[in-house]
Amino acid sequence: MKIYHRKTSSLKNHCKGTSLIEVMVTVVVLAISLIGIAGLQIFGVRYNHSAYLRSQSTMLAYDILDRMRANRAQAATTNAYLMGFGDSIPSPTTDCSNVGQTCSPFEIAQYDLSQWATAVANVLPDGEAQIQIQDLPDRRVYTVSLKWRDRRDTNDNQEIITPFVYRAEL
């Protein structure tokens, strides 16, 4: 029985340095992959924050409309709930949050606008609000418009103004 032995010295010389090149290529591919994952995380956080601000604007629009529904007589017959972009936050003459305090419907409207406009300014970055009323023959339509500064959808990190409009009847 003959036993054949391979020559290992020629294989060692032939494969010399190949594993080091493979490791370097793997490190480069891994580094590029990690940079890509970091970019995806940055965009994910940015879009998640944008969605959060849109949710907050929806809740703020519902909030003022619920306040109008609670003070329906004032909202339906007067323009006490009107507000424009850039208007200063109204300062109410009476704090209607106290349980023992009696407020007129107009004072409640001023208090509601003050509280709501303050919430818009605090929750949305550079948030502004507008409330318009459109009188139609058989109903009154309220339009709540909000806008704020957002960094979504830009490649060069420029800020854009995001609008939100909600229309409702009381």
- At 45 the pLDDT is 84
Question: 98-115 as b/e, with b when 16 or more CB fall inside 10 Å?
Answer: eeeeebeeebbbbbbbbb
Q: What is the pLDDT of residue 143?
A: 95
Q: How many other CB atoms are found less than 10 A from the CB of residue 91?
A: 9
Task: Sketch the domain layout of the chain as residue ranges.
Answer: 8-169
Question: What is the distance in angstroms between the CA of the first residue and the CA of the last residue of the chain?
Answer: 102
Report how far residue 34's alpha carbon sits from residue 41's, in angstroms, rounded to the nearest whole number. Answer: 10
Residue 29 is predicted with a pLDDT of 95
pLDDT of 156 reads 61
Answer whether 95's CB lies under 8 Å from 101's CB: yes
Cα separation, 46 vs 160, whole angstroms: 13
Q: Which of 130, 123, 148, 146 is nearest to 56 (CA)?
A: 123
Quote the CA–CA distance of 153 and 144 in Å, as a whole number: 24
The residue assigned the tokens 């806008």 is: 147
Mean pLDDT by 10 residues, the chain (170 residues): 61 62 91 94 86 94 95 90 88 81 89 94 93 91 93 66 90
- The pLDDT assigned to 42 comes to 87
